[in-house]
């Protein structure tokens, strides 16, 4: 089944491709569209509402449900806007004639610019969740932190959790969010709720992943639905889905020492990049 975001994106293409038939749009701005509008029109500069109406992004945004003009940001490519939705990054020409989905690369730097944007979106969303709404296994002084979307009944999720002491011993803190792949009103979903509603969530998660039945009843206010919705926004189609502290996604299980090596390499690369 397609996620809500994916359906919206597919519908967006047809919508945006017809915009030029209904609304003539201005050329690409050198800065933001609103800034260039105010500079060119003294009335717009004096009246922000007039500037918003004159903003060439407004005509595109009006055709895309839930989109504001400011959601359409200038991309690295002149004449193209970038629109981020969940894990999807959509590109729309500033004349409103064309839209396309795909990864945008900076060839000289060999850098996937679309994936960099996805990393930022994942990081922003996960950072908005307090650890009090996660099930956390970590050493006293962790060197690294990962966030794992897990399914109690997933075989590789169980494999990862069976080695949780090894991850922790290597300085890796593991923060769990729930992503029962079978969806609401299923056994896996109920197990996730039971884990959260148990007096000792860490112990309950460990026992559930060992296949032990939990007697705790699901309680109101648990975060399973919210975690699941976030995973859907990210278009996760499997578990475990491991999100690094920089927003990078590892779509699957990675053994402790292999994960540590990857974390060390990522950290070293970040330091080298920052020093340039």
Backbone angles phi, psi at 58, to 5 degrees: -60, -40
Contact at 8 Å (CB) between 238 and 181? yes
**Identified catalytic residue from 118, 122, 158, 181:** 181
Residue 157 among the catalytic residues: yes
**Identified catalytic residue from 57, 85, 88, 157:** 157
Query: Residue 194 corresponds to which tokens in the numbers above?
Result: 């039971």
Residue 122 among the catalytic residues: no
For 145, 164, 183, 195, 259, the CA distances from 139, given in Å and listed in that order, are: 10, 10, 32, 21, 16
Contact at 8 Å (CB) between 216 and 194? yes
Residue 154 among the catalytic residues: yes
**Identified catalytic residue from 88, 151, 153, 227:** 151
For residues 154 and 14, what is the distance between their CA atoms, to the nearest angstrom?
A: 37
For residues 82 and 14, what is the distance between their CA atoms, to the nearest angstrom?
A: 17
**Identified catalytic residue from 153, 154, 197, 227:** 154
Q: Please name every residue paired with 243 in a beta bridge, in sequence order, or none if there are none.
A: 147, 249
Active site residues: 151, 154, 157, 181
């Amino acid at each position: 089944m397609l996620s809500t975001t994916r359906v919206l994106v597919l519908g967006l293409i047809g919508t945006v491709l017809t915009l030029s038939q209904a609304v003539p749009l201005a050329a690409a701005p050198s800065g933001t569209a609103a800034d260039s509008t105010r500079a060119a029109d003294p009335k717009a500069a004096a009246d922000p509402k007039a500037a918003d109406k004159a903003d060439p992004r407004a005509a595109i945004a009006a055709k895309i449900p839930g989109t504001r003009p400011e959601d359409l940001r200038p991309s690295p490519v002149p004449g193209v806007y970038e629109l981020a939705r969940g894990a999807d990054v959509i590109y729309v020409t500033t004349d409103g004639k064309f839209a396309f989905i795909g990864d945008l690369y900076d060839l000289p730097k060999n850098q996937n610019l679309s994936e960099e944007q996805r990393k930022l979106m994942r990081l922003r969303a996960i950072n908005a969740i307090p650890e009090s709404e996660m099930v956390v296994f970590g050493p006293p002084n962790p060197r690294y932190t990962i966030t794992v979307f897990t399914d109690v009944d997933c075989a590789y999720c169980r494999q990862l959790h069976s080695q949780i002491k090894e991850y922790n011993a290597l300085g890796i803190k593991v923060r769990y969010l729930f992503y029962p792949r079978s969806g609401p009103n299923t056994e896996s979903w109920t197990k996730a709720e039971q884990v959260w509603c148990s007096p000792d969530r860490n112990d309950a998660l460990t026992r559930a992943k060992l296949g032990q039945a939990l007697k705790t009843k699901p309680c109101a206010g648990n975060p399973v639905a919210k975690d699941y919705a976030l995973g859907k926004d990210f278009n996760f189609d499997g578990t475990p889905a491991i999100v690094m502290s920089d927003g990078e996604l590892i779509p699957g299980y990675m053994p402790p020492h292999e994960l540590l090596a990857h974390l060390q390499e990522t950290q070293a690369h970040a330091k080298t990049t920052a020093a340039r």
